[in-house]
Amino acid sequence: MVKVGVDEALSSELLAEFPAGVEVVRIPRTMAEGQRLDVDFWILPFARRNAEETFRHLRGVRVVQSMMAGVDWITPWIPKDVVLCDGRGIHDISASEWVLAAILAVMKRLPVYRDLQHKQEWKGFATATDNFLGEDGAAAGQYRVLGEDLAGKTVLIVGYGSIGAAIEARLLPFEVKVLRIARSARETPVVSAIGDLHRLLPEADIVVAIVPQTEETRGLIGAAEMALMKKGALLVNAARGPVVVTDALVNALVEHRIRAAVDVTDPEPLPAGHPLWTAPNCLITPHVGGSTPEFIYRAYRFGVAQLKRYLAGQPLENVVGEAGY
């Protein structure tokens, strides 16, 4: 009988669809010294900080199924003979909806107006300029420009995997032009290789980073890349904090060259007093993009499907190392 390791507090509702022929092993969040548990298939409970310590107490693990799309925090301590599968696809809905919400919030200046609401001040945005809005052109003398339309903008998605495709699907009804970048070029749809990043950055009004964190993507967007972006362009980081060079981002924001919306930072958690907190034109959320009530159901449905494949001797999906962004 296959022994499946799950978190000790996992709801019985999420276990209801587990197939027959498995023994569920509830793994304590804190393991006693010398405690050992036999587990064949470990469903890793999200981004548990003590996961590495827990793994040392497990014996016989053949498969580790992560519920997170990024597994850079797992790979350093998983032995090569253990199959590691990531949660690619599980996050598509929640992560892509966060990206869309962040873009619209910045375009419509919702953080600024929320700040004014807290002060009980009824003021148009022109009284708190961000150096990117003005009254030039046909608007001059007619009305104050207080926000922007997403329609007509060019969005560059850096990391065109399943989440990238989900982001595009949610953006297209807003009449945007989408440019795509992945590790290697593809033809349908047209996806450029990562080597084309510098060529495409100047074309984009919005740049969305959604790559996995690897040695290749660490520092992918730094000072040189930000210098290539349009003045006032929006950088959205929904990937991992180290994908964007923090010091370069702070400098670009302070100099009013670009704007940013980030769900991830480097370091993370972002410590009190860090200059990114007070950098202008920066929307920060504390790595909550994938945290929705619906997400856990999608996660465990996928885990059950993986477990059924394992029991049937079928190839597992999302095996780390078999596919890139």
Q: Report the pLDDT averaged over residues 136-163.
A: 86
The tokens 């060079």 sit on which residue? 245
pLDDT classification of 323: cutoffs 50, 70, 90: very low
pLDDT classification of 130: cutoffs 50, 70, 90: low
Q: Report the pLDDT averaged over residues 297-313.
A: 95
User: May I ask the CATH class of domain 2-88+292-312?
Assistant: alpha beta
Where in the sequence of the chain do the CATH 3.40.50.720 domains occur? 2-88+292-312, 92-108+148-284
DSSP characters over 69-114: S--TTTGGGS-TTSEEE--TTTTHHHHHHHHHHHHHHHHTTHHHHH
d(CA 144, CA 266): 37
Pick the more confident residue, 144 or 188. Answer: 188
Running DSSP on this structure, what letter comes out for residue 219?
A: T
Pairing between β-strand 63-66 and β-strand 83-85 as defined by DSSP bridges: parallel
Q: Report the pLDDT averaged over residues 56-66.
A: 96
Q: Report the pLDDT averaged over residues 252-269.
A: 97
Query: Residue 317: what pLDDT?
Result: 96
Taking CB atoms within 8 Å and a gap of at least 24, the contacts of 58-65 are: 58/5, 58/27, 60/3, 61/5, 63/306, 63/310, 63/316, 65/41, 65/303, 65/306, 65/307
pLDDT classification of 98: cutoffs 50, 70, 90: very high
Question: Catalytic residue numbers?
Answer: 240, 268, 287
d(CA 106, CA 125): 12
In this structure, which topology does domain 92-108+148-284 adopt according to CATH? Rossmann fold (3.40.50)
Predicted confidence (pLDDT) per residue in 269-293, tens digit: 999 999 999 999 999 999 999 889 8
